[in-house]
A = this chain, B = another copy of it.
Amino acid sequence: MRRLDSAQGDFQLQLKQLTAWEEELDHAVNDTVREVLEDVAVRGDEALLEYTARFDGLELSHAAELEIGQERLQQALLAIDDASREALETAAARIREYHQHQLQDSWNYRDSAGNLLGQQITALESAGIYVPGGKASYPSSVLMNAIPAHVAGVEQIVMVVPAPGGEVNELVLAAAAIAGVNRVFTLGGAQAVAALAYGTETVPAVDKIVGPGNIYVATAKRMVFGRVGIDMIAGPSEILVICDGTTEPDWVAMDLFSQAEHDENAQSILLCPHAGYLDRVGQSIEKLLPEMERAPIIRASLEGRGAMILTRDLQEAVEISNQLAPEHLELSVQDPEALLPSVRHAGAIFMGAYTSEALGDYCAGPNHVLPTSRSARFFSPLGVYDFQKRSSVIMCSAQGVQELGRVASVLARGESLTAHARSAEYRLDE
């Protein structure tokens, strides 16, 4: 794992190279995705069946077979072992409780002239949840995507999950049952996004599509944005750990592994003002790595994109973290509350040595769908607010309209919009 030192003259350049991540503007991917979108929009189910056979190796004769019914979900819930079911249910309850704090309420006020002004909050009618399939098919992602929609009051939650070669994950189906998913289709890739955006004879069109996927899914989401809402564009997972040197080095090593094991492109970065502590974590890494199930992926990730950075002090570590806007930030220090107010950009902040990032992935309560690749500068964790929207409310009083009408008239005439001006002027007393 490479070592950097913030005191080095070329540190900023090295940091930039380390964290550079560009989803290539890949013309081939763009063209393929555009073709799939147009085809599904025009041919509907017929196109879905063809792409599902071609890309997922799943041959079906009728589009109705794409749907997994509610009974099948309940069956999965009974089929899984008790420990898994209890863990899923505990996690779901905690996630639900946390997300209820995100519910927004309508509000209004009257100004001094008696005009009523406010905002009415309503839930989306329908939402589509994209859940990756195959090896990376995670029941926790079902909970994290569906529960916020359910808490918001979305009536129709439609999940798509590819079933390569027909294989479905029982835990994923059980999680769908627990999370309140209304309909499930075995669909993946750009064709799944197309089905949710345009609707087909079998798959209902939804108002918003959320959840992470590969480059085809991300590209398709970007292209249908505007026709439907989308959440964010997901890149490789990241963790940035700030240590003051008091956390057990094995714990920190394992926390770094827990991002690295996702993907060779995942990024794990450790910042600490004590060189000796970085050495100790390095030793823990060497000791623990050989015994890990996913050692090759972890090694590739740490060597390719990981780093340990010696900083001047903890405050500088936070500044570097703000610059990188990490998806996951661990403040593995004795007084994390002292650092929190300085944290400006991060998807989720894990405070204190006990709070390993893995707890947030599964059951602490907050969402694990988080902004990556520095996008925590402007994106938020997936939340209930993604499934609610707002309407402005204005009701002018007979008195209040007198001032407003005069101001609107001046401004509208300044913009040469005379119908606007006259419509305001009609409401004025002579």
| Contact A292 B419, CB 8 Å, known A349-B394, A359-B408, A376-B391 | yes
Q: Does A277 count as interface, using CB distance less than 8 angstroms?
A: no
- Closest Cβ–Cβ distance, residue A299 to chain B (whole Å): 12
| CB-contacts of A336-370 with B (<8 A) | 336-337, 340, 343-367, 370
Assess whether B120 is in contact with A411, with CB atoms less than 8 Å apart: no
CA distance A401 to B357 in the complex (A): 12
In the complex, the answer to whether B261 meets A419 with C-beta atoms within 8 Å is: yes
With a cutoff of 8 Å between Cβ atoms, the chain B residues found around residue A390 in the complex are 380-381, 383
Task: For A377, give the chain B residue with the smallest CB separation.
Answer: B207
Question: How close is A233's CB to chain B, nearest CB, in angstroms?
Answer: 3
Complex Cα gap A83–B407 (Å): 9
Interface size on A, residues (CB 8 A): 132
- CB atoms of B365 and A292 under 8 A apart: no
Contact of A426 among B138, B227, B251, B262 (CB under 8 A): B251
Known interface pairs A254-B419, A378-B207, A419-B260; A411-B363 also in contact (CB < 8 Å): yes
Give CA–CA (A346, B116) in the complex, Å: 17
Interface residue A274 (Cβ < 8 Å from any Cβ of B): no
Interface residues of A, Cβ cutoff 8 Å to B = 23, 25, 34, 37-38, 83-84, 86-88, 90-91, 94, 97-98, 101-102, 107, 109, 111, 115-120, 122, 124-125, 138-140, 171, 207-208, 218, 222-223, 225-229, 232-233, 248, 250-251, 254-255, 257-258, 260-262, 292-294, 298, 336-337, 340, 343-367, 370, 373, 375-381, 383, 385, 389-398, 400-401, 403-408, 410-412, 414-424, 426-427
